[in-house]
Amino acid sequence: MGSIVTLTDDVTTRLYDTGEDHLTPVVLLHGMAATGMLNWYQTFQRLQGEYRLITYDQRRHGMGDGGRFDFQSLSEDVLRVSDHLELDAPVIGGYSMGGIVAQLAARRDPSRLGGLVLAATGTGAQRNALEKITLGSLTRSAPALNAVPIEVAREIDDEVPGAYTWAIRELASVPLATHRTVIAEVARFNSTSWLHELDLPVAIIKTMRDIAFPRWIQDEMADLLPHSAVFPITAGHAACATHPGRFARRMRTAIGWVVSNRQ
């Protein structure tokens, strides 16, 4: 299921694609200190067969190698992945950092996209809270990471590792220098001046106990977007890991809303 693809002359990544040409494509962008499948494998398990699900490792995360790291470059990669797979107006789902990248991709060329699903993200972040969440990610992951798909594990090694081993390996693939770079990028990001320009449906999965992107930041994002709907989940910033079933159900509802409201 996973393959190494070249996005530009100096950028390669590991990409997962369920591959059903007849289903609506949904490209899922992971958050900081994660990888594509680490962030989204629980969603893949639950929504596979309903949508064509695609995720990949963004630059300097996992097997996303090469090129400069800034959010504008990452947003260009979203469109490159779409071109590589010849996707027609995919829905872009972004989690945390991935939600910021999704906003920028939509700003770059909204006509190329079918809509957005933004989870645990906003117009900017609380930097101190984001630092605490990132630095604590290893210790908090242990009880939440389970049921790693065997096919995913086999992509990583000939022997199937335990869930915790696989998750730690994925987390360890993101250098600490990348954590610092991402935090600095997030601290500079502010989409309040242009979100009103995004003329496409945007579903927001509002993480009600989020301290990195507090509710007021998520509410601000929803208020600025001209065509949005909010789907709350009573969970913190790591909702995809701590409440995987509930989060996947919110994703199903949010994607369905976007698809039904596309032009």
What is the model's pLDDT at position 145?
41
Q: CB of 36 within 8 A of CB of 55?
A: yes
- Number of domains observed in the structure of the chain: 1
What is the model's pLDDT at position 52?
98
What 3 state SS string does 128-146 have? HHHHHHHHCHHHHHCCCCC
| Residue entry with tokens 């190698």 | 65
What is the model's pLDDT at position 63?
85
What is the model's pLDDT at position 124?
87
Q: CB of 192 within 8 A of CB of 173?
A: no
Tens-of-pLDDT digits for all 263 residues of the chain? 589 999 998 999 999 999 999 999 999 999 988 899 999 999 999 999 999 999 999 998 888 888 899 999 999 999 999 999 999 999 999 999 999 999 999 999 999 999 999 999 999 876 566 655 654 443 344 334 444 444 444 444 444 456 667 666 776 666 667 777 888 888 889 999 999 999 999 999 999 999 989 999 999 999 999 999 999 999 999 999 899 999 999 999 999 999 999 97
- Give the domain range for residue 144: 2-260
Residues with Cβ within 8 Å of 200's Cβ and at least 6 positions away in sequence, in order, are 106, 110, 113, 114, 115, 116, 227, 262, 263
CATH number at residue 44: 3.40.50.1820
Tokens for 36, please give them.
């594509």
Dihedral over Cα of 130, 131, 136, 138: its sign: positive
Q: CB of 17 within 8 A of CB of 85?
A: yes
CA distance 102 to 91: 10
